[in-house]
Amino acid sequence: MKDQSLGFNDLDRNEDDHLSANEQTPLRADAFALSDEEKIERIKASVSDILTTLGMDLTDDSIKGTPNRVAKMFVKEIFGGLNPIKKPSSSTFENKYKYGEMLVEKNITLYSTCEHHLLPIVGKAHVAYISNGTVVGLSKMNRIVDYFAKRPQVQERLNIQIVRELQQVLGTEDVACVIDAKHLCVNSRGIRDIDSSTVTAEYGGVFQQSDVRDEFLKYLQLPSLDRI
């Protein structure tokens, strides 16, 4: 009988697998049973245990505050997008000027965290939509990207979540998003390839047509203003 057990290399490959079968972030039903302050206290204790296990001296002035800093950062900052209370409101407006071409918001700075190794994902998101009668404030697209990025993520899922949210807000399928990002789980560990980046895309509605998609990608090639 063939051995069906997983070897070390198989486990390592599974850890690096970026596939996800679910468009939704995997959350337990009781994800928000604890308050932010309760979560901070629990995470603080866990971080203290990790550092102590690694052999660190938590009485040292340099790191004695690290567990509290990390706990607050997890809950209040880099994983703040897990809490639906922090979801940005996205008011829409009537497209009174009848602008019918695609609107592209490119080079949106993106900071996220790989859910496989809890290491940073850093890159740019490029978002576009074609109005069917309503428009959304430009900064709202940045805020939507930031909200879904601030959680343990898989880049493919992040792409989909951004597009699905904007489709719902705008009432149209005609939304697209391309993300180009560096994953420090690749750049700083494992293969340690510092030059590689990951590009993913999600195209909805008319953006699935090659001519519309190509127009969007041409916008991304236009030079951007570095400073105003």
Active site residues: 114-117, 155, 183, 185
- E strand map for the chain: 92-94, 102-114, 120-130, 134-136, 152-153, 175-183, 198-203
**How far, in Å, CA of 108 to CA of 130, rounded?**
18
**How far, in Å, CA of 211 to CA of 146, rounded?**
29
* Residue pair 43/70 in contact by the 8 Å Cβ criterion: yes
What are the angstrom distances between the C-alpha of 51 and each of 45, 47, 56, 63, 65? 10, 6, 5, 9, 12
